[in-house]
Amino acid sequence: MLLEVKDINVYYGVIHAIKNVSFEVNQGEIVALIGANGAGKTSIMHTISGLIRSRSGSIHFDGKDISKVASHKIPGLGLVQVPEGRHVFTEMTVLENLEMGAYLRKDKENIQKDLEKVFKRFSRLEERKNQLAGTLSGGEQQMLAMGRALMSKPSLLLLDEPSMGLSPILVNEIFDIIKSINKDGVTVLLVEQNANKALSIADRAYVLETGNVIVSGQAKEVADNPKVKEAYLG
């Protein structure tokens, strides 16, 4: 098991946002967390990344308890988040953004090789490598955020709402890219409001409602669940 989240509880002031949530992600899987807006998906991602703290419970990554590890140290362990809303460095070029992704790496000689791999996967980024990231379209910024994360050589990639605000054609492209990243050996935890798309590429899924996991199982079983169909799959 690569990631084990056990009984985490997250509060914002007096609001109990995440209630005893447990789930796991095995090496090589794509696991989807789906649910309506405000269900707690992003809060869970931020808790795993160390951006917010769980009041109780534990998070183990690759056998190590990371519940108390400082957020800036977590990418160095191989766990990297692509945040909701992309958050590229708008005043830096595409190339500089990608180089920032590799800032923790010690194997400098392989960085150039990985940069070439990113450009091969996202050819549009190579065409725009000297352009300021702030001038890219939403889809290109999403690709840049994913490319920047890949430059840190993650074993687990957390993707928070990668399809948000994108046209249907671009959504398909992003999901194809997620599948190919996974095929290359990167495990993926995917938070996504587009439940149909998420379930179509995931191995397993967990459905969140008001901070609780209400359904879990193989992605196909979850997609066939009447309750899930009615609430999320239209």
User: Residue range 116-134: average pLDDT?
Assistant: 95
Residue 106: inside a domain, yes or no? no
Per-residue pLDDT at 234 exceeds 80: no
- Residue 228 in any domain: the answer is yes
Domain with 201 in it = 3-88+154-232
Per-residue pLDDT reduced to its tens digit, 16-71: 999 999 999 999 999 999 998 889 999 999 999 999 999 999 999 999 999 999 99
Nearest to 82 by CA among 5, 168, 143: 143
Does residue 133 sit within a domain?
Answer: no
Q: Is residue 114 part of a domain?
A: no
State residue 85's pLDDT score. 81
Residues 196-218 have pLDDT tens digits of 999 999 999 999 999 999 999 99
In a domain, residue 59? The reply is yes
Average pLDDT over residues 180-190: 97
With 80 as the cut, is the pLDDT of residue 6 above it? yes
Model confidence band, residue 174 (pLDDT cutoffs 50, 70, 90): very high
pLDDT at 193: 86
Number of domains in the chain: 1
User: Pairing state of beta strands 30-35 and 15-25?
Assistant: unpaired
Tokens of 187: 């495990």
On the question of pLDDT at 151 being above 70, the answer is yes
Model confidence pTM above 0.85: yes
List, for residues 65-96, the tens digit of each pLDDT value.
999 999 999 999 999 999 888 899 999 999 99
Q: Give the residue among 165, 120, 118, 117 at the shortest CA–CA distance from 142.
A: 165
Residue 206, domain CATH = 3.40.50.300
CA distance 197 to 69: 33
**Rounded Cα distance, 196 and 34, in Å:** 10
Q: Does a structural domain hold residue 172?
A: yes
Instruction: Identify whether 210 is part of a domain.
Output: yes
Please provide residue 19's backbone torsions phi and psi, each rounded to the nearest 5 degrees: -115, 105
Q: For residue 203, is it within any domain?
A: yes
Tally Cβ neighbours within 10 Å of residue 58. 15
Q: Is the pLDDT of residue 109 over 90?
A: no
